[in-house]
Structure 1
Amino acid sequence: MTASGRAGEPSAWPPLRGELRGIEPYGAPQLDVPVQLNVNENPYGPSDACIADIAAAAAEAAATLNRYPDREFVALRADLASYLSGDAGAGVTIAPEQVWAANGSNEVMLQLLQAFGGPGRTAVSFAPTYSMYPEYARDTNTRWVAGRRAEDFALDLDAARDLVKTEQPSVILLPSPNNPTGTALPPEAVRTLCEAAGDEGIVVVDEAYGEFRRTGVPSALELLPSYRNLVVTRTMSKAFAGAGLRLGYLAADPAICDAIRVVRLPYHLSAVTQAVARAALRHAPELLGKVDELRGERDALVGWLRAEGYDVADSDANFVLFGRFADRHAVWQGLLDQGVLIRETGPDGWLRVSVGTATEMAAFRTALNEVTAVNGERA
């Protein structure tokens, strides 16, 4: 016997699943620097009036903490349904029974993979894509297959359809706008993949950055009445300036929401989370009030980067992917040395910067010019 107590197995402690050994946990650097532009946060916090309402809601919930929260979070689902109906386009109404919520859109995605993925099943996405997707698949023992996006990061619909027909996935993950590229999907892409998947698979359109989409770019919410296998996810972390709240949610056919209830943990949304989320939704116009300003800063940044000679992906999000660099880590480190933290992610040679305040974006532009002037790291 080996030290682990099992014949033929190497000694290791703790007795972690073999496929998880040596893997670093997910996470962007959390560094105390003057300009933090690496995790796509909303730089504008809530007003004093909103803070007071949230505090009052949390205090009221605190008086009931000796009891379990509403397991079905009925009131919160109704509020989320009302908000989504206003963003879904003319003629589309989202009912409370079509809404589900969890601890950030990360847990929403994990629950979807728990319910619809698993051993013997496949999840598909198209790279470059959100780096957590393969981790959701790994954690649920779901086979992971990544197709490729086109050179401009759009989907080649013929190739995407062929991959779905070949792999027959149970779950298709489509971020729109895509992270890390910022690319939004046209409605025909969602239609094509919903039809290719049929009743054997669900199509998850991850709209974590949906509120930042450019004028005229529709939400996949508009297609919900047409496809019962379509799921649209959102979050309060980005446009709602609620990254610390940890509230993600989805809209889908009620049967999908009921299926998720099988795998959710009991009382997975605390009474405080439910109360604070509802208070934030009461202040939606205010919390979303800076979205137009951030869109303007994003579009100005895209224009400036292109004028400086960089390759820049079209963005419908609150971040911009730009390049190309012979040594992107050197540029990332040079910016950090200047007090500006961005994200080293995406395809080789590219970097991603979140859109911040006008002052923060000015600091980024100055630092980038200084860094590239010193070491000339462009590809």
Structure 2
Amino acid sequence: MTSLNDLPLRDNLRGLTPYGAPQLHVAVALNVNENTHGIPDAVARDIVAAMTEAIRTINRYPDREFTELRESLARYLGHGLTRENIWAANGSNEVLQQVLQAFGGPGRSVLGFAPTYSMYSLLASGTGTRWIAGTRDADFELTPATATGWVDTVSPDLVFLCSPNNPTGTPLSLDTIAAVYDATDGVVVVDEAYAEFGPSGAPSALTLLPGRERLLVSRTMSKAFAFAGARVGYLAADPAVTDALRLVRLPYHLSALTQAAAIAALAHTAEMLAMVDDIRGQRDRLVAELAVLGYSPLRSASNFVLFGGVDDPRGTFEALLAEGILVRDVGIPGHLRVTAGTEAETSVFLTALAGLGQHSVVQPNKLLE
């Protein structure tokens, strides 16, 4: 059998491993930051009805400009945005890939701040863009001084800022974003995949868009909208940016079914986002009770918590897995990451972790039935 090493693979892809968390069937999956609450039945029925209608014309190509979807996304985001400011693709990963195809490539570089979303470096490799991993401040924060220091040192063509950062959950100030933009002539991408889980009323990087034609704000429907399986990501930017992305996108890249499902979901924004407050509550509960257990949770503005003080991350991961609970070992020494699930799922996780005996015991809430 031919192995990967036997193929004439591009040099910059040799030795890499594909992105992917373990896909295991367990009772409590809290490893990939999904919204575990699911879609309300009434909303699901409307989505199914919209997709059924779309099926009637499935013999034709979909709207190449996904016009209605862009209009729906612009209404959802607000901030005076119109469809001309909006782009969408099959998940925010494809959005970011298209950004790198348009503005990166051989001879160009993208700066990120490690640890951060591991797909950034893989997308860079896939587009022939040089990945530069800058460092963060204590507790994985990122100040304007640290961020601009790296920009001044390496002069990147693009900068990726994850806000809040994955896998650490730490928020990013608008001051840092604005300072990075002012420090570079390149494209600045703010990845706000988890923005809806931030404090109520917290400002988004969307407020910085006016007058900043090189600033792109990426979002997703996967997390807050419980739409991970539909694969819908999008960004807001100057209309010239969407023109640039048209140069690299594949024809008809968003299927008619994807467009119909997303438009129907956005028509029910209030219902789809109703679980966000509950998720925030479980995230805050994780932070509080992990500390009681003797761990060191980081502050989080996302739907997950990274916690330190884990003597044996791999052993703890395996022990939880044996109990039917899947968390994420993100490769940061002494740390694990857990998604904020339902109240019952959170209780099962905390009870199991307490039972491992590494630290003191927490009083569990109602267990998962």
Q: TM-score, normalised by structure 2?
A: 0.94
**Structure 1 residue 206: Cα displacement:** 0.3
Q: Does 1:26 align with 2:11?
A: no
**Structure 1 residue 226: Cα displacement:** 3.6
Counterpart residue number, 2:364: none
1:249-278, Cα deviation, whole Å (9 max, x unpaired): 000011011101000001100011101100
**Structure 1 residue 372: Cα displacement:** 3.5
Counterpart residue number, 1:93: 80
Counterpart residue number, 1:130: 117
**Structure 1 residue 320: Cα displacement:** 0.1
Counterpart residue number, 2:175: 188
Counterpart residue number, 1:322: 307
Give yes or no for contact 1:331–1:372 (8 Å, CA) kept in 2.
no
The structure 1 segments of at least 4 consecutive aligned residues displaced by more than 6 Å after TM superposition are none
**Structure 1 residue 47: Cα displacement:** 1.9
Counterpart residue number, 2:365: none
1:205-224, Cα deviation, whole Å (9 max, x unpaired): 10000000013421111111
Bigger Cα displacement from structure 2, 12-21 vs 353-362: 12-21
Superposed CA RMSD? 1.9
**Structure 1 residue 204: Cα displacement:** 0.6
Q: SS of the counterpart of 2:337?
A: strand
Counterpart residue number, 2:39: 46
Counterpart residue number, 1:35: 28
- Structure 1: distance between partners of 2:175 and 2:188: 13
Aligned pair count reads 360
1:9-59, Cα deviation, whole Å (9 max, x unpaired): x99533322332343321101111111100111111112211111111111
- Structure 1: distance between partners of 2:143 and 2:303: 24
1:318-344, Cα deviation, whole Å (9 max, x unpaired): 000001223210010011011110000
Q: Does 1:360 align with 2:345?
A: yes
Q: 1:84 aligns with which of 64, 77, 83?
A: 77
Q: 2:323 aligns with which of 338, 345, 355?
A: 338
Counterpart residue number, 2:200: 215
What amino acid is aligned across from residue 306 of structure 1 in structure 2? A
Counterpart residue number, 2:276: 291
- Structure 2: distance between partners of 1:226 and 1:332: 47
What amino acid is aligned across from residue 150 of structure 1 in structure 2? D
What amino acid is aligned across from residue 58 of structure 1 in structure 2? M
**Which residues of structure 1 form unaligned runs of 5+?**
5-9, 86-91
Give yes or no for contact 1:121–1:170 (8 Å, CA) kept in 2.
yes
- Structure 1: distance between partners of 2:306 and 2:104: 31
Q: SS of the counterpart of 1:225?
A: coil
Give yes or no for contact 1:128–1:346 (8 Å, CA) kept in 2.
no
Q: TM-score, normalised by structure 1?
A: 0.92
Residues 221, 11 of structure 1: alpha-carbon distance in 2 compared, 3 angstrom cutoff: closer
- Percent identical pairs in the alignment equals 55
- Structure 2: distance between partners of 1:296 and 1:178: 19
Counterpart residue number, 1:89: none
Counterpart residue number, 1:310: 295
**Which residues of structure 2 form unaligned runs of 5+?**
362-369
Counterparts of 1:33-182 in structure 2, within 5 Å, are 33-85=26-78, 92-182=79-169
- Structure 2: distance between partners of 1:346 and 1:83: 36
What amino acid is aligned across from residue 330 of structure 1 in structure 2? G
